[in-house]
Structure 1
Amino acid sequence: MHRFWEKVIKPIIIAAQPQSIVEIGSLTGLNTFKLLDYCQQTGARCTVIDPAPQFDTELLQDYYGENFQMLRELSLEAMPKLDAYDMILVDGDHNWYTVYHELKQVERMARETGVFPIVLLHDVDWPYGRRDMYYYPESIPQEYRQPNAKQGMLPGNAGLLPLGGFNGSVSNAVLEHGERNGVLTAVEDFLRETAFDLTWHELHACNGLGILMPADAPALRMLPYILSTSGM
């Protein structure tokens, strides 16, 4: 998601001025560090959820202090414990079950506070817009888990490749498309059900970025300009 920082995420943050940010999935921290710099400068707070972050979390805690909170848990275990937040960036386990239920957790929080946060979701385009990926297949209930294998993918090929291809080191759904399969499918299913008045925006660069905003969000006025001038 860090590839969207300068042209999309940072301008949205400037427009929205969130005081509490949640990041699901931090990997090496390239996006996390940028979020924390914003929080340090503005007095905001960033809660990072990742069961296996690939950076020194203790060093970050020492440097950023109260602006930083690290939760080494799966997102669906950690989210019910969170206080209210203004923005959430979702870039964790890229599968229907996880993303759909992450959005339901966001909705639960919004019902309690009366305000739906800005939601940024990575990987709404190929390869995981319409295909599940599992970091921890056993964490997904069997009835929601697509048949999967550690094999790579190729654009335009609905199956998996016996050798080579993209991202064959993780468990990918054997077939692309179909019900309850993929990040974008999870977003669409959530939007069909929610009672909140939300707007949906999508960028197709860098595996896709989806943006959910309440229809009355002040930052929404700036979003068309941000997206049209991003060059992405």
Structure 2
Amino acid sequence: MTNLLIHSMSEFSGIIMPCLVEAKVANITEIGSEFGGMSRVLADHCEGQGGTLTCFDPEPDPSFSEWAEEHAAVCHVKQPSLDALETAGPADAWFVDGDHNYFTVFNELVHVDRICREADRPLLAFLHDVSWPCARRDFYYAPSRVPDDWRHPHSYDHGVVLDDDGALKDRGFRGGGSFAVALEAGGPHNGVLTAVEDFIAQTDTEERPLYYVHVPAVFGLGIVFDASAPWAETLGKFLLPYHENSLIARLEENRLRNYLEVIDWQDRKSSTA
């Protein structure tokens, strides 16, 4: 099943890496490593630029931990992102792909923005899962890390389907106990894209305008960066063809519908076994 669904942020390497080169990125902080697919790509870039990749992940896959220990250009911080960001140093670019819920992502961006401002560096952040299913619905890998007032009612057992943002289903895309899903989609303080939009609404000003690019593929790539950065115009022109591209979005929808059909077929087969 895993091989049927591409899901790593590394699938966007052809878009991301030219941005890092243009912005002269050497030091990167990555939030969320899991198996380290994107981490390996970023580590190679950092090493080539004489920089360091710092990864925040309290419980990555053991294969990542082993790899990180052996890689001189990688610093693995075994803390939840919001704890690690309290004392984190500056970076040239930030990758946000940890827990996919409003509270965590919004506060990660607030911390990252604070660190950039204090260091007088432009903001350049890449975020994953800004499209379906996490755009308007919280997913929780560790619900206990989200305060009660910010944590939506959720379930580990049910799944989500396209074309229905209502209550969860006994089928569809689900984590099999690895993550919980908010019972309802939409509304305030719910979902990764909602967090990004609220952060931009709070932060974007005439004195410091922000650009946002949304690539609607592989669960969605979001890029937030300072419009006044010396490389901003070049990045904007490069990324514009990908931004909310309707063909890319249609291909992603088709991919997801096919995958959900496979899940339904497996569920039916399992129920009759």
Please give the TM-score of this superposition, normalised by the length of structure 1: 0.92
Runs of 4+ with deviation above 4 angstroms: 229-232
Would the alpha carbon gap of residues 124 and 216 (structure 1) be closer, same or farther in structure 2, given more than 3 Å must change? Answer: same
User: What is the RMSD of the two structures over their aligned residues, measured on CA atoms?
Assistant: 1.8
Where does 1:51-70 land on structure 2 (aligned, <5 Å)? 51-54=58-61, 55-62=63-70, 64-65=71-72, 67-70=73-76
Q: More relative contact order in 1 or in 2 (CA 8 Å, sep 6+)?
A: 1
The residue aligned with 2:80 is: 74
1:52-81 deviations in whole A, cap 9, x for unaligned?
Answer: 11124244332x31x210011110000122
> What's 1:11 paired with?
18
Cα gap change, 1:192 to 1:163, in 2 (>3 Å): same
Contact 2:210 2:227 in 1 (8 A): yes
Q: Give the structure 2 partner of residue 165 of structure 1.
A: 172
Q: Which of 209, 224, 230 is equivalent to 1:218?
A: 230
Letter in 1 for 2:238: Y
Unmatched runs of 5 consecutive residues or more in structure 2? 1-8, 249-273
Q: What residue in structure 2 maps to residue 187 of structure 1?
A: 196
Whether 2:207 is the aligned partner of 1:201: answer no
Query: 1-side partners of 2:190 and 2:33: how far apart?
Result: 23
Q: How many residues align?
A: 229
C-alpha distance in 2 between matches for 1:219 and 1:111? 17
Question: Which residue is 2:94 aligned to?
Answer: 88
1:107 aligns with 2:116: no
Give 3-state SS (helix, strand or coil) of 1:43's partner: coil
- Which amino acid letter does the alignment assign opposite residue 16 of structure 2? I
CA contact (8 A) 2:161 2:169 kept: no
Determine the structure 2 residue equivalent to 1:138.
Answer: 144
Q: How far apart in 2 are the matches of 1:56 and 1:208?
A: 23
Larger Rg: 2
State the percentage of identical aligned residues: 36
